[in-house]
Every structure is written in structure tokens, then in C-alpha cells.
């Protein structure tokens, strides 16, 4: 209806005995109208596919111009870039390739480069590359030096804040070459989806409206009847990540949970309530959180609010004066999100003219679609002017998809026809116009070319994530001389392996980076410790990366 593209994520690596089922699924997706697949496993390219475009998932670890150019030449129609890339890196990729580029602008951040995290599988048997990550990065760790000294205790040392890009960031990304934006929203509730997408829709539309070189890729305009605010739904605090260099607000070592919106603080504790001082009023049923005297993140439900008096559901709760409060559940906002929050309509023009034996009606839109009907009737002369009445009738907002912006009436005289008859013909025209747009939907059909150009690496170890014979054949076809199987091919993982590689660096966080002025020197090697797990840390300072190893 709105020419919105539907992309389906099929971005896990695939076992050999699943290939036939995956091929069947892809054909089913094609037949129901899916526009493209977002994939990770290169084995998919060797299957018997319908003419459906493929996009390279961020799970393919798309960080370099060489990798993106390879994927372009292999026939991928769009490439989802790694979240860690800076504006300069995006520009370098864009300047050396012609493929459409997609980039993340909001949502949860993986601390590891996507597609290169093996911690969950190696420690818990659940593979991130199979879509079942156990999120070991959201657990509390001790950071221990070579002498056994605990540098940080029981902290969420791998837990990043959530990504949030500003209007200025988004416009800079557009100028760098990004044409599609991605919001991470796995397992998020409706309020999150409505609120966050509305904020970015408004933001991107403002950018488009200010420039003549940009246009929307889909049809219609939204009328949003609430004020979107990303901080009102699930968030761990926000960061713009590495878009403009290494940020200071990258991580939150105190909690991996949603922080919500910062509201105010406790002014005084009374017998069964406390006095609240903040920037906004609270509601009955709100969820509030705070850090207790031990630095632990805790929360409670508000039972009743009377002015600045707040009564917790747990009447025995005692809060220290000055404690900062965060709202993690907004009762009024969530209730508003349950209702209709937006209306999307396509601007159209209506035209009416007389024919030899009756009248004709036509609808057209800015994209060049047009539908017209003619109907025979007696052209009864009117006793008073009818054009304004007819213009109002034909322009009336009765259809959920369309908004009539102008109505042209080309008559030689003034005619009378009952409103019911005009309404019937108008509705018939709308029906035809919907069918016309559907028939003319610009669906892309594309078949992958047969290519043999060289992959950027001659040898692939387990980091290549090759789990089936078709993926192996793909890389061999592209001049890779040695292909080792994915880690997931073996349940018994032996020896020291790289569990993850990330831009987040604990040495930097502790002001112990050799590149920092007046940096402290730590007794290394450092280890992350969680229960029975003791994970060595290594540092690749040339690339500004931290590596977590399995001993």
C-alpha cells in the first residue's frame, strides 16, 4: 500500500541438514511478497533461489571497503555496516563502492563486532551466530590483575549503553553515503516500537524537507498524535558510539537494565511516602528505579501520587534524601501508546470532468500513478452552483490511505447529481486506485551473478563462520585456499581462542591506555572473572581493540 519494503532477516549460520529447509523457506517468503533477505551465511548464495535480492547482514562483519566491495561484486544489493564505524570510515567505504549502505541508528549494542562473538557458545553452548546469544556481556564481572588484585568488583564491565543518533548525526551519515537506517528492536514491546520509530520518522522527514537532493523511499506522510521521546522507553542510557571518535559515555558499569528517563530526586522520606522533586509529574502506577547505598540498581512501583507526595506500593520502602530517581515505566505514556498514535496517508489529486454521456473521475499521486473511471448518468442542470459542494464531497477524508490535496472540476455548466451517487463513484475510484498502485509496485527481481573474484582473505579460520558445504564452496569459488569450520561445528572447544574482539576497552576506561596522557600502568595480564570463568584480556593497541580470550 505504502510501497514500504519488507526485508526478512535470515541472518544466522546454517547447519548442513538445514539447507533444504532454508531453501524452501526462502521460496515461501518470495511467494508472499518479501522484497529482500538479510543474510549472514554465504551458503545461501549457492542454493536454488527465486529472483530475490540479498542484503549482507551486519553479522557478516562489514567494516572495510575491501569487504563491502567484495559483497557488492558478489551480487549483494545492500550491505549493513558494522555499528562501530566512524563517519570517516563510512565515507571511505561509500567512496570505493556503489552498493546501497545501511547503518544502525538506535538500539542495543553488542560489545563485540557483530558475527565475531563466540563467548555465549564457548561458555554456555548458545551461539550468537545462531540467534540464541545468552548475553554474557550483560553479566557482572571482577577485573583482576596479574597479582590477583581486584581492580573492579562485581561490575557490568562489558555492558554498553544503547545506541541513539541525533538529527545532526543522521544527516552526517546521509552525507557520508548511508541511504537506509536500521533500528534494533528485538523482543521490544509495542510502546518502544511506536515511540522510537516515530522519533526517527519525524527527524528524517525534517532533514528531507530541508534538502532538495533527498526523498523518501516509500509513500505517504505520517500524522503522529503524540510527542515521541526515546528516553521514555527501554534504554540503558545513550551513546552515539564511535561515529565521531571514542566517546566518554560508552558503557554503564553499574547496571545492564533499562535506566528509563531521569526524573528528579527524593527530597525527604516520610512515614509511608516520600517528597519528590523533579522536572515532571509522576503518575499512579509508574515504575521508578534508583541506585541504593550499595550501588545496586533497584526499583519499585508507585501506588499513589498526591502532588509531590509519592506513596510506593511497598509502604516499608525507605529512600535516602537526595537519591536520584529514574522512571522505567510511565503509566500515562504506555496507556497512550495502546491507542492509535499515528495516521499515514498518501497525498493525491482528484479530477472530475464531463463526458458525452456522464462524468469521469480521476485520482493521481506524486509518483505518477493514475486511475480513472467513467459513468453514464443524466446531466441535470443545477439551479445553484454545485462545484464547491462537489469539491468538498470528493476531497472528504473518507479513505484510510489517501488524502486529497486538490480537486479539479472541469465542467461546461452546473449540474446536479445526488451526493450518494458521487460517493458511490468516488469509492469505486478509490478501489481501482488501490489496485493500480498494487499492480505497479516496483518490486525488484534480481539473480546473483556467477563470480569468482578474490575474497579479501586467502585463509579462513573459525572466524569465517563456515558451517556447511555450500558456504565452503562459496569461499573456495572466491579463491580462499584454506577454509576451517565454524566454532559451532564442534561441541568440544579446545585451546585458547578469541571469544570476542571489541572497540570497548577496559584499559581505556581505567585511564591505563598507553595513548592517554598520564596513564596508569597495570599489572598485566588482566582477567575477567565470573563464577568459574576466568577470561584473559589482550589489547591490540594498533587497532584500538580489546580481545577477550578463552584460556
Residue among 348, 288, 344, 341 nearest 319 (CA): 288
What pLDDT does residue 340 have?
96
Does one domain contain both 294 and 326? yes
Does one domain contain both 289 and 360? no
Does one domain contain both 386 and 361? yes
Residue that finishes a domain, picked among 281, 316, 337: 337
**121 and 134 Cβ atoms separated by less than 8 Å:** no
Residue that finishes a domain, picked among 273, 302, 337: 337
Provide the pLDDT confidence category of residue 416 given band limits of 50, 70 and 90: very high
pLDDT at position 516 over 80: yes
Does one domain contain both 421 and 352? yes
**3-state SS, residue 409:** strand
How many structural domains compose the chain? 2
Per-chain mean pLDDT for the chain: 96
Give the mean pLDDT of 187-205. Answer: 96
pLDDT at position 495 over 80: no
User: What are the angstrom distances between the C-alpha of 245 and each of 109, 125, 174?
Assistant: 16, 35, 18
Is 361 contained in some domain? yes
Per residue in 445-465, pLDDT (tens digit) is 999 999 999 999 999 999 999
| pLDDT above 90 coverage of the chain, percent | 96
Does one domain contain both 394 and 317? no
Does one domain contain both 331 and 389? no
Alpha-carbon gap, residue 120 to 123, rounded angstroms = 5
Is 291 contained in some domain? yes
Does one domain contain both 323 and 300? yes
Is 298 contained in some domain? yes
Show the cell assigned to 547.
Answer: 580481545
Longest CA span, the chain:
101
Does one domain contain both 352 and 434? yes
Give the mean pLDDT of 482-495. Answer: 88
The CATH number for 301's domain is 2.40.10
Provide the pLDDT confidence category of residue 29 given band limits of 50, 70 and 90: very high
Is 126 contained in some domain? no
Does one domain contain both 354 and 427? yes
Residue among 314, 326, 433 nearest 370 (CA): 433
Per residue in 217-272, pLDDT (tens digit) is 999 999 999 999 999 999 999 999 999 999 989 999 999 999 999 999 999 999 99
Q: For residue 401, what are the domain limits? A: 347-439
Is 513 contained in some domain? no
Residue that finishes a domain, picked among 294, 311, 337: 337
Exposed/middle/buried for residue 434 (C-beta within 10 Å: 0-12, 13-18, 19+): middle
Is 351 contained in some domain? yes
**CA–centroid distance for 493 within its chain:** 33
Does one domain contain both 355 and 435? yes
Is 429 contained in some domain? yes
Per residue in 288-322, pLDDT (tens digit) is 999 999 999 999 999 999 999 999 999 999 999 99
**Residue 39, preceding bond cis, omega within 30 degrees?**
no
Q: Is the dihedral of CA 182, 188, 192, 193 positive or negative?
A: positive
Q: C-alpha dihedral over 326, 332, 334, 339, to 10 degrees?
A: -160
The region, left, alpha or beta by phi > 0 then psi within -120 to 50, assigned to residue 433 is alpha
Per residue in 144-191, pLDDT (tens digit) is 999 999 999 999 999 999 999 999 999 999 999 999 999 998 889 999
What residues are paired with 80 via a beta bridge?
A: 102
Residue written as grid cell 480537486: 407
**21 and 31 Cβ atoms separated by less than 8 Å:** no
Does one domain contain both 381 and 422? yes
H or E stretch covering 390: helix 387-395
Per residue in 335-367, pLDDT (tens digit) is 999 999 999 999 999 999 999 999 999 999 999
Show the cell assigned to 9.
Answer: 532477516
Is 514 contained in some domain? no
Alpha-carbon gap, residue 159 to 245, rounded angstroms = 19
Does one domain contain both 333 and 377? no
Amino acid at each position: 500500500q505504502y510501497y514500504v519494503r519488507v526485508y526478512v532477516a535470515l541472518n544466522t549460520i546454517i547447519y548442513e541438514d538445514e539447507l533444504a529447509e532454508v531453501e524452501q523457506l526462502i521460496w515461501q517468503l518470495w511467494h508472499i511478497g518479501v522484497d529482500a533477505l538479510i543474510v549472514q551465511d554465504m551458503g545461501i548464495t549457492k542454493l536454488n533461489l527465486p529472483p530475490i535480492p540479498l542484503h549482507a547482514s551486519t553479522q557478516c562483519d562489514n567494516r572495510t571497503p575491501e569487504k563491502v566491495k567484495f559483497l557488492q561484486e558478489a551480487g549483494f544489493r545492500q550491505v549493513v555496516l558494522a555499528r562501530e564505524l566512524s563517519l570517516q570510515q563510512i565515507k571511505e567505504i561509500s567512496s570505493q563502492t556503489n552498493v546501497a549502505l545501511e547503518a544502525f541508528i538506535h538500539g542495543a549494542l553488542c560489545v563485540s563486532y557483530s558475527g565475531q562473538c563466540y563467548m555465549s557458545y564457548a561458555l554456555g553452548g548458545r551461539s550468537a551466530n545462531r540467534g540464541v546469544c545468552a548475553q554474557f556481556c550483560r553479566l557482572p564481572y571482577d577485573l583482576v590483575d596479574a597479582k590477583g588484585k581486584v581492580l573492579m568488583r562485581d561490575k557490568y564491565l562489558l555492558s554498553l549503553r544503547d545506541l541513539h543518533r541525533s538529527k545532526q548525526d543522521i544527516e552526517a551519515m546521509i552525507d557520508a553515503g548511508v541511504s537506509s537506517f536500521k533500528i534494533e528492536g528485538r523482543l521490544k514491546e509495542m510502546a518502544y516500537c511506536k515511540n522510537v520509530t516515530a522519533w526517527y520518522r519525524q527527524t528524517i522527514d525534517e532533514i528531507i524537507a530541508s534538502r532538495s537532493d533527498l526523498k523518501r523511499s516509500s509513500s505517504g506522510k505520517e500524522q503522529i498524535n503524540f510527542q515521541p521521546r526515546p528516553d521514555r522507553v527501554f534504554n540503558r542510557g545513550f551513546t552515539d558510539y564511535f561515529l565521531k571518535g571514542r566517546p566518554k559515555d560508552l558503557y554503564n558499569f553499574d547496571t545492564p537494565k533499562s535506566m528509563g528517563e531521569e526524573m528528579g530526586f527524593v527530597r525527604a522520606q516520610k512515614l509511608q511516602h516520600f517528597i519528590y522533586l523533579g522536572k515532571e509529574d509522576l503518575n499512579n502506577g509508574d515504575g521508578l528505579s534508583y541506585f541504593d547505598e550499595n550501588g545496586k540498581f533497584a526499583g519499585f512501583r508507585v501506588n499513589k501520587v498526591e502532588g509531590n507526595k509519592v506513596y510506593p506500593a511497598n509502604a516499608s520502602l525507605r529512600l535516602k534524601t537526595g537519591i536520584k530517581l529514574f522512571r522505567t515505566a510511565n503509566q500515562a505514556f504506555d496507556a497512550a501508546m495502546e491507542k492509535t498514535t499515528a495516521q499515514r496517508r498518501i497525498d493525491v489529486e482528484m479530477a472530475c470532468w464531463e463526458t458525452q454521456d456522464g462524468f469521469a473521475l480521476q485520482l493521481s499521486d506524486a509518483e505518477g500513478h493514475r486511475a480513472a473511471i467513467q459513468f453514464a448518468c443524466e446531466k441535470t442542470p443545477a439551479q445553484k452552483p454545485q462545484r464547491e459542494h462537489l469539491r468538498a464531497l470528493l476531497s472528504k477524508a473518507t479513505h484510510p490511505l489517501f488524502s486529497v490535496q486538490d480537486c479539479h472540476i472541469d465542467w461546461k455548466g452546473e449540474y446536479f447529481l445526488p451526493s450518494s451517487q458521487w460517493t458511490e463513484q468516488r469509492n469505486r475510484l478509490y478501489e481501482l486506485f488501490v489496485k493500480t498502485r498494487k499492480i505497479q509496485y516496483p518490486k525488484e527481481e534480481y539473480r546473483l551473478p556467477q563470480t569468482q573474484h578474490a575474497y579479501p582473505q586467502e585463509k579462513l579460520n573459525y572466524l569465517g563462520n563456515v558451517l556447511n558445504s555450500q558456504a565452503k564452496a562459496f569461499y573456495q569459488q572466491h579463491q580462499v585456499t584454506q577454509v576451517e569450520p565454524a566454532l559451532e561445528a564442534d561441541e568440544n572447544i579446545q585451546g585458547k581462542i578469541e571469544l570476542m574482539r571489541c572497540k570497548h576497552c577496559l584499559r581505556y576506561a581505567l585511564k591505563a591506555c598507553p595513548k592517554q596522557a598520564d596513564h596508569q600502568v597495570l599489572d598485566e595480564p588482566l582477567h575477567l572473572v565470573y563464577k568459574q570463568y576466568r577470561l584473559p584480556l589482550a589489547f591490540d593497541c594498533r587497532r584500538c581493540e580489546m580481545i577477550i580470550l578463552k584460556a
